[in-house]
């Protein structure tokens, strides 16, 4: 079943035409990875979906309901969680306050706290610490944990591996594989290893258009396609 659909979406940032009529379908469940070179429009796609950027034309539908052009708080209330590239952790707020902020109903954090702490044990240890005192990896866990507080049907996660040590990225892969059993994840990721380790489907963006989409297993097996669109080999190293 299609959970999220983009139809001919055009988005500008200032005078720059970034998304040039993108079409995309996100199936329910699993991880769909948005791939593409720098500047292809991956982050802009997520920002347009969540409502931080308003599309100039086109449709964005969640479970058939139009959300394109609505303010971010309304889009989020359709059950969409967002983890930005810079993690968006509030550095002056404690871990608990960062999580509590994401409650959309009273008691939501209490109801999900144990599950979140089971997935991210570090958050329990640093519960009363300010977000700004956490390491990059811990901040990433907090950002993802925060998106889990509300009952989100879709998580939009933008380059979670950025700036993290390889061992932390491996842990991140385990976490994402654990989470995809509970929610649909749209993942923007430059690290092809992480994309391959977690992705079920992929969509390749180029110049603000969706140019290829399919099953991740097929992309992993097709080194020509990888080289053509992504500039990576099957082993995840840049060519």
Sole binder of another protein in the list 57, 77, 127, 165 (CB under 8 A)? 77
H or E stretch at 218: helix 216-221
CB of 39 to another protein, least distance (A): 21
Q: Is 51 in the site for another protein (CB under 8 A)?
A: yes
CB of 238 to another protein, least distance (A): 31
C-alpha to C-alpha distance for 63 and 40, rounded to whole angstroms: 26
Residues in the chain: 239
Which residues lie closer than 8 Å to 38 by C-beta, 6 or more apart? 190
Around Cβ 152, how many Cβ atoms within 10 Å? 20
Contacting range for another protein; rule: CB under 8 A; set: 12-20, 28-36, 94-102, 191-199: 94-102
Do 20 and 34 form a contact (C-beta atoms < 8 A)? no
Contacting range for another protein; rule: CB under 8 A; set: 29-37, 71-79, 115-123, 190-198: 71-79
Sole binder of another protein in the list 42, 112, 146, 180 (CB under 8 A)? 146
Q: Which of 236, 224, 227, 176 is nearest to 200 (CA)?
A: 176
CB of 147 to another protein, least distance (A): 9
CB of 190 to another protein, least distance (A): 22
Sole binder of another protein in the list 68, 82, 95, 116 (CB under 8 A)? 82
| H helices present in 31-184, as ranges | 42-50, 72-76, 95-100, 108-119, 121-125, 136-149, 166-179
CB of 110 to another protein, least distance (A): 14
Sole binder of another protein in the list 35, 50, 134, 175 (CB under 8 A)? 50
Q: Is 153 in the site for another protein (CB under 8 A)?
A: no
Around Cβ 226, how many Cβ atoms within 10 Å? 22
Q: Is 90 in the site for another protein (CB under 8 A)?
A: yes
Give the burial class of 63: count Cβ atoms within 10 A of its Cβ; 0-12 exposed, 13-18 middle, 19 or more buried. middle
Q: Which of 199, 218, 217 is nearest to 35 (CA)?
A: 199
Sole binder of another protein in the list 95, 102, 168, 219 (CB under 8 A)? 102
* Residues near another protein, by CB under 8 A: 50-52, 71-73, 75-77, 82, 84, 88, 90-93, 97, 100-102, 104, 132, 146, 150
């Amino acid at each position: 079943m299609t959970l999220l659909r983009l139809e001919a979406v055009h988005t500008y940032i200032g005078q720059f035409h970034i998304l040039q009529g993108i079409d995309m379908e996100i199936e329910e469940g699993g991880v769909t990875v948005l791939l593409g070179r720098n500047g292809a429009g991956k982050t802009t796609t997520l920002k347009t979906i969540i409502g931080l950027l308003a599309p100039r034309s086109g449709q964005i539908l969640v479970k058939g309901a139009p959300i394109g052009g609505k303010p971010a708080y309304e889009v989020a209330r359709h059950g969409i969680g967002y983890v930005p590239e810079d993690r968006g952790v509030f550095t002056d707020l404690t871990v608990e306050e960062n999580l509590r902020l994401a409650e959309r109903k009273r008691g939501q954090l209490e109801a999900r706290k144990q599950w979140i702490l089971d997935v991210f044990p570090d958050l329990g240890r640093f519960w009363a610490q300010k977000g700004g005192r956490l390491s990059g990896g811990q901040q990433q866990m907090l950002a993802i944990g925060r998106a889990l507080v509300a009952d989100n049907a879709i998580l939009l996660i933008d380059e979670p591996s950025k700036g993290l040590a390889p061992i932390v990225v491996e842990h991140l892969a385990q976490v994402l594989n654990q989470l995809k059993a509970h929610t649909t994840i749209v993942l923007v990721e430059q690290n092809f290893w992480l994309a391959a380790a977690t992705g079920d489907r992929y969509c390749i963006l180029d110049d603000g258009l969706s140019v290829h989409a399919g099953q991740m297993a097929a992309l992993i097996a097709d080194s020509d396609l990888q080289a053509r669109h992504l500039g990576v080999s099957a082993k995840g190293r840049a060519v």
